[in-house]
Structure formats: C-alpha cells, structure tokens
C-alpha cells in the first residue's frame, strides 16, 4: 500500500470517528429537550382529554324529555348527605333517611367558575336507610341499605315552563329504564319556597358553598 493510499484510508477513518463523536454529543445534548417535548405533548393530550370529559352532558332523555335512569352517578361529585331519620319525623319523612347527593362533573366545574347551575345540570339524590345508631365511634345515625334514587335536571329547552327550568324525577327502582316526572306542586314547590339558590338547597351542602366563587 502506498503512503498516499494509507493516508487517505487513515483520513477517512479519522473523519468518520470525529463525525460519530459529533453525532453522539449532539444526541446526548438534545435528549433532555426531546424528552421535554414528549412530556409536554403527553400532558397536553391528557389535559385536553380531561377537559373534554368536563364538557360532557350527563343527562340522557326519552323523546318525551323524561330522564333515563342515571348511571355511574357515584363517580360524580359527592356534595353531602343530609339525613331525615324516621324517628324524628313520626316515621314519615318525605325522603327517608340519608340523602346522598351527587352533581355531574360538568356542572360542578361550571359551578366552581360561576357560582351558577348551568343548563344541563343533573343532581342525583340516592336514599339510604339508617342502619344502626351505635358504633365504636359513638352513638348517632349510620347508613344502612340503599332505598332508591331521585333526580333533578335543569334544562331551559326541555322544561321552559317548569319553575326555574328544573324538572324533578322519581324512579321506581334501580332497574327502571326511566324516571317519573313529578308534579310542580310536589318537589318543585318545596324547592322554590325553601332552597337558598336556584331551587337547590345549598344551605345544606357546605361542599357547594365552599366551591362557589367568592365564598369561604
């Protein structure tokens, strides 16, 4: 091999090694930036997914605008559990006994921003009996078995003539396909007279009051 050929081969090898080291250095230096971009993209996609979930409507209806039996409401926002025990109401409370109350996530998000109940709000009340009055923690009222559900829906398009655009529904059972719309002189009349804001008894739900803008 001539000296010139050897020099050329050595030059090619040396140049290749330099280029490899340059590429390796560039890749290592760019790796944090690439990972950062990937992370931001992933977080953005996740945020958009959750935002989309917050914008969903949770009420489903028949053609006659009757609310279908709500599903998965126990995964909504739990706002409180007032109790009207039988033994304090001559055995005949209007809704015996615990009222486990949930609001759909979209309306909860809107409430936190505005302090108002939006069109499309669905509030579910699940009734639970008093199971026992004694516990290791002391005496009181402790939940027993589920008794059924009721719901109220605000929708100005579906219920333009209802007080506050709220419709109230009872359900014969958990297996019922749809609710039974209640007369205005029943549920709506009581809510209109006694509820603190927009037909909702927020005076009984500190979770709602605490989340309302401007409230403490």
pLDDT at 204 over 70: yes
Query: Do both 2 and 37 map to the same domain?
Result: yes
- The CB-side HSE value for 140 (13 A sphere, CA atoms) comes to 8
The boundaries of the domain holding residue 193 are 73-211
Flag whether 130 is in a domain: yes
Burial category of 142 from C-beta neighbours within 10 Å (exposed 0-12, middle 13-18, buried 19 and up):
middle
| Domain match, 112 and 155 both | yes
Least confident of 53-62, 98-107, 199-208: 53-62
Q: How confident is the model at residue 209 (pLDDT cuts 50, 70, 90)?
A: very high
Which residue would you say has higher pLDDT here, 26 or 190? 190
Same domain, 119 and 167: yes
Q: Are residues 117 and 198 in the same domain?
A: yes
Same domain, 22 and 116: no
pLDDT-wise least confident of 16-30, 103-117, 127-141: 16-30
Give pLDDT, residue 215: 77
pLDDT at 173: 95
Pair 124, 199 in one domain: yes
Q: 126 and 47: one domain?
A: no
- Whether the predicted pLDDT of 106 surpasses 90: yes
Q: Is the pLDDT of residue 11 over 50?
A: no
Helices (H), the chain: 3-54, 105-114, 189-194, 206-211
The domain total for the chain is 2
* Low-confidence winner among 12-16, 56-60, 148-152, 170-174 (lowest mean pLDDT): 12-16
The reply to whether 62 falls in a domain is no
Residue 44 has pLDDT above 90, yes or no: no
CA dihedral 58, 59, 62, 63 (to 10 degrees): -100
CA angle 43, 46, 50 (to 5 degrees): 135
- Looking at the structure, tell me whether residues 87 and 145 fall in a common domain: yes
Q: Which residue has the tokens 């205005």?
A: 184
Residues 79 and 162 in one domain: yes
Residue 27 confidence (pLDDT): 45
- CATH number for the domain that contains residue 111: 3.50.70.20
Q: Verify that 167 and 124 share a domain, yes or no.
A: yes
Same domain, 113 and 203: yes
Query: Residue 26's pLDDT is what?
Result: 47
């Amino acid at each position: 091999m001539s000296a010139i050929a050897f020099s050329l081969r050595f030059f090619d090898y040396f140049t290749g090694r330099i280029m490899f080291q340059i590429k390796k250095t560039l890749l290592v230096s760019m790796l944090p930036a690439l990972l950062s971009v990937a992370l931001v993209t992933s977080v953005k996609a996740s945020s958009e997914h959750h935002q989309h979930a917050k914008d969903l409507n949770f009420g489903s209806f028949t053609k006659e605008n009757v609310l279908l039996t709500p599903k998965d409401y126990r995964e909504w926002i739990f706002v409180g559990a007032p109790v009207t025990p039988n033994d304090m109401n001559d055995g005949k409370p209007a809704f015996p006994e615990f009222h486990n109350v949930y609001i759909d996530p979209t309306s909860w998000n809107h409430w936190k921003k505005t302090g108002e109940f939006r069109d499309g709000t669905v509030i579910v009340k699940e009734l639970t009996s008093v199971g026992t009055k004694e516990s290791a923690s002391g005496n009181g009222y402790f939940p027993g078995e589920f008794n059924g559900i009721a719901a109220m829906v605000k929708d100005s398009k579906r219920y333009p003539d209802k007080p506050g655009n709220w419709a109230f529904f009872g359900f014969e059972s958990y297996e019922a396909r749809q609710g039974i719309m209640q007369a205005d002189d029943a549920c709506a009349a009581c809510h209109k007279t006694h509820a603190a804001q927009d037909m909702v008894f927020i005076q009984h739900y500190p979770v709602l009051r605490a989340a309302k803008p401007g409230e403490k």
